[in-house]
Amino acid sequence: MFNLIGVYECKIDAKGRLPFPAAFRKQLSDVLNDGFTMKRSVFHRFIELYPMCEWKVQYEKLVQINRFTTKTDDFIRILMAGAKTVELDPAGRLLIPKDLLEYSGIKKNIVVAAALDKIEIWDKDAYEQVVNYDPVEFEKSVEEIMGGSFNK
């Protein structure tokens, strides 16, 4: 499992290529040649980027789900919609497929943000809306989510 850290602002070019931040290339240097899985996010309109070794962990969880119900089959179909394997090109860029650009609303200015074991790729304006939180509400969430979850 990775412990990715960092938030970077970038611009994609007209062909949809993202210059992958050098800090992430350094953090992922041992697995860069294995590639990534890129997919739609579930809860917001951004792109999730998993190093291939982390995607395999997620995939193993998914294949354990009983596929013999309509609800589960539909869930898997929607979850996997737009999923693609991608690699850095020789210039250190990732090509974001057009369908994922459209889904995420990414135009030119983007934010590439670490989220523990994956990387999130956001339209900059959409990211700013999500992270501009109400401090009081966030405090309540911290207490609810983290308050009793761990031993001290």
Residue 143 burial (CB < 10 Å; 0-12/13-18/19+)?
exposed
Q: Is the pLDDT of residue 149 over 80?
A: no
Cα 1 from Cα 19, distance rounded (Å): 24
Q: Looking at residue 24, what is its pLDDT?
A: 97
Query: Mind listing the pLDDT tens digit for each residue in 17-49?
Result: 999 999 999 999 999 999 999 999 999 999 999
Residue 3 pLDDT: 85
Q: How far apart are CA 148 and CA 38, in angstroms?
A: 33
Model-wide pTM > 0.85: yes
Domain range annotation of the chain: 7-125
CATH architecture of the domain with residue range 7-125:
3-Layer(aba) Sandwich (3.40)
Which of the pair, 24 or 66, is modelled with greater confidence?
24
% of the chain surpassing 90 pLDDT: 83
Instruction: List phi, psi (to 5°) of 15.
Output: -90, 0
